[in-house]
Structure 1
Amino acid sequence: MGLPTTLFVTVGSGEHSEEWTSRFRQAVAEIPEIVEAHRMTGSVDYILKIVLPNVEDYDRVYKQLIRRIKMTDVSAFISMETVKSVEALPLTVLRNAASQG
């Protein structure tokens, strides 16, 4: 597909207002290279999954994001290899839990 590079980007917001959250969600929605965004517990506020043709394109996406929203910490991690990726949900776990309950 021409998108061999996957990055995971952690975001620290420094702010947790409804206004910031709304602007962040809008910014993420407007950048097509961001294919997943997860709000997290712990020391990281969000993790973004970004797919790109090459790692050099990350700077372009990063600049789009920082133009739209203020963040206190942004760290990018390049995926070197996908070890496991499945689309199906683990429904057998639900069936086993139901039969034990």
Structure 2
Amino acid sequence: ISDLVWLTDNPDAEAIEFWQQNYPDMATSEQRIKEMMKAGYEVIESFTQSEQSWRNYLDPLSQKITQVEDEDFSSNTLNDLRKELQIHEQYSG
């Protein structure tokens, strides 16, 4: 199972606000593990994606957004993606 989780016990208010709007069920890894075990699953392994894994996803996404912006195209989806990139860059970890 893959899930977005808080990587800190004290997330910044801006990050909390962003994720409350986009994924209000976001929790810590520990909370998710407890929920899975309560549901009867055995958690064999849990790990956080490396920063390089995130770069492999976010860098091409950022480049594509820049390319589309150059074409004078705008949408709510692009705005949401821009905000997600900004939140990750500013608050990751």
TM-score range, shorter chain: 0.3 to 0.5
Normalised by the length of structure 2, the TM-score is 0.33
Give the strand-richer structure, 1 or 2: 1
Find the structure with the greater CA-based Rg. Answer: 1
Determine which structure has the larger helix proportion and give its number: 2
**How does the TM-score come out when normalised to structure 1?**
0.31
